[in-house]
């Protein structure tokens, strides 16, 4: 739906025809791209809850659980693939399921991290590691991050990984969570900030790589059965967008959860706007590649307004979500 808006604008706006041709060709390339995100983390950390909160999973095509092709014991690979248009989510078990299973999970993750797409580029654009903020023992998660993921991310390892501490509401056994306003009280904020720093330190000590985690809550069932909305989910989305290639951001944006209640509670107000700007900047970056090759000067005006008009349509959609 959003891709149509961009295309319509590129076709309708006044601009030199050779530039239009280049932009439409470039846009066709951008539309063909695939975005691949791996979500991993210990059992029960909240990978599924996070995916379900972020994206509209109704349309997701879930592949059958892939099997490991060769080997004496044809174990299931246990990485589950969800396809939402051109966005592919790889839901991958982390460590903590016993030695044998852990070895298998680690091998599967490493294989996926080295996999290349048909253009020879690394397949996985981003690894989202979900930590369980309600537990003190993050030992297996450090194993996963420091020994399995980071050593296999290639150059610039800090760029392809995002560490997110989930279940912020349960971090102090639910104490200091303001249930009425769905946010942490100051004591819990301090605790969570400290937790982020301590995770950062452990990763830095183990690998030399500096990664600043963020905390959030994917949402939870209150006692008595009511569903509490997520906290910092728009922040998490913003960080995801900033950590994937700019020209692929719109792919994720097309599959966002349209239930606006999931986006509304965050540690500051500005994430809706940041999300929009991030996507807009991403499309500009993608399209300008084509314009730069074209007759400069005149080129930038039309590209700017094409992107502006296209984004305008998309903002309608995002505005509906983020308010």
Ligand X SMILES: Nc1nc2c(ncn2[C@@H]2O[C@H](COP(=O)(O)OP(=O)(O)OP(=O)(O)O)[C@@H](O)[C@H]2O)c(=O)[nH]1
- Site residues, ligand X (CB under 6 A): 41, 43-49, 93, 166-167, 169-170, 217-221
Q: Between 120 and 225, whose beta carbon lies closer to ligand X? A: 225
96 binds, among ligand X, Mg ion, none (CB under 5 to 8 A by kind): none
- How far lies 319's CA from each of 12, 73, 176, 272, 315, in Å? 24, 51, 32, 8, 5
Binding-site partner at residue 45 among ligand X, Mg ion, none, CB < 5 to 8 Å by type:
ligand X
36 vs 45 by CB, closer to ligand X: 45
Calpha distance 241→235 (Å, rounded): 10
Binding site partner of 43, from ligand X, Mg ion, none, Cβ cut-off 5-8 A by kind:
ligand X
Pick one of Mg ion, ligand X, none as the site partner of residue 207 (Cβ within 5 to 8 A by kind): none
Q: Which partner in ligand X, Mg ion, none is near 243 (CB below 5 to 8 A by kind)?
A: none
Smallest gap from Cβ 225 to ligand X, in A, equals 12
Nearest distance in Å: CB 216, Mg ion = 17
Which is nearer to ligand X, 53 or 294 (by Cβ)?
A: 53
**Gap between the Cα atoms of 276 and 311, Å rounded:** 9
Shortest reach from residue 323's CB to Mg ion, in Å: 29
Closest to Mg ion by CB, 61 vs 62, is 62
Binding-site partner at residue 229 among Mg ion, ligand X, none, CB < 5 to 8 Å by type: none
Locate 217 and state its tokens.
């809550």
37 phi/psi in degrees, rounded to 5:
-120, 130
Site string for Mg ion, 23-52 (x = CB under 5 A): ------------------------xx----
Asked whether 131 and 163 are in contact (CB, 8 A), the reply is: yes
Distance CA 268, CA 98 (A): 40
3-state SS, 253-285, equals HCCECCCHHHCCCCCCCCHHHHHHHHHHHHHHH
CA distance 316 to 260: 13
The nearest distance, CB 53 to ligand X, in angstroms, is 8
Q: Toward Mg ion, which CB reaches closer, 48 or 243?
A: 48
- Distance from C-alpha of 73 to C-alpha of 82, rounded to nearest angstrom: 25
In terms of CB distance, is 141 or 207 closer to ligand X? Answer: 141
**Paired strand residues for 166:** 132
Number of Cβ atoms within 10 Å of the Cβ of 178? 12
Q: Least distance to Mg ion from the beta carbon of 65, Å?
A: 12
Residues in the chain: 323
Residues lying near Mg ion in the complex (CB under 5 A) are found at 47-48
């Amino acid at each position: 739906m959003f891709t149509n808006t961009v295309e319509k604008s590129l076709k309708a706006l006044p601009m030199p025809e050779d530039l239009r041709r280049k932009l439409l060709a470039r846009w066709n390339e951008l539309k063909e791209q695939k975005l691949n995100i791996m979500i991993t983390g210990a059992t029960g950390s909240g990978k599924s809850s996070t995916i379900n909160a972020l994206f509209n999973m109704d349309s997701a095509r879930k592949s059958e659980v892939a099997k490991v092709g060769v080997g004496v014991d044809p174990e299931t690979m246990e990485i589950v693939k969800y396809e939402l248009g051109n966005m592919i989510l790889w839901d991958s078990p982390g460590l903590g399921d016993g030695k044998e299973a852990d070895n298998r999970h680690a091998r599967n993750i490493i294989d996926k991290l080295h996999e290349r797409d048909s253009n020879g580029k690394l397949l996985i654009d981003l690894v989202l590691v979900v930590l369980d903020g309600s537990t003190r023992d993050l030992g297996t998660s450090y194993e996963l991050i420091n020994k399995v993921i980071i050593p296999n991310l290639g150059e610039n390892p800090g760029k392809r990984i995002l560490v997110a501490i989930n279940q912020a509401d349960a971090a102090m056994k639910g104490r200091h969570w303001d249930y009425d306003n769905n946010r942490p009280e100051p004591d819990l904020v301090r605790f969570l900030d400290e937790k982020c720093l301590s995770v950062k330190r452990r990763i830095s000590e183990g690998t030399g790589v500096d990664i600043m985690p963020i905390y959030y809550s994917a949402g939870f069932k209150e006692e008595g059965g009511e569903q509490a909305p997520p906290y910092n989910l728009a922040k998490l989305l913003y960080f995801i967008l900033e950590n994937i290639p700019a020209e692929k951001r719109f792919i994720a944006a097309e599959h966002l959860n349209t239930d606006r209640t999931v986006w509304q509670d965050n540690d500051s107000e500005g994430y809706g706007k940041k999300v929009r700007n991030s996507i807009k900047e991403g499309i500009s970056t993608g399209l300008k590649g084509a314009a730069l090759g074209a007759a400069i000067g005149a080129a930038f005006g039309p590209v700017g307004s094409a992107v502006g008009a296209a984004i305008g349509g998309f903002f309608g959609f995002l505005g509906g979500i983020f308010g």
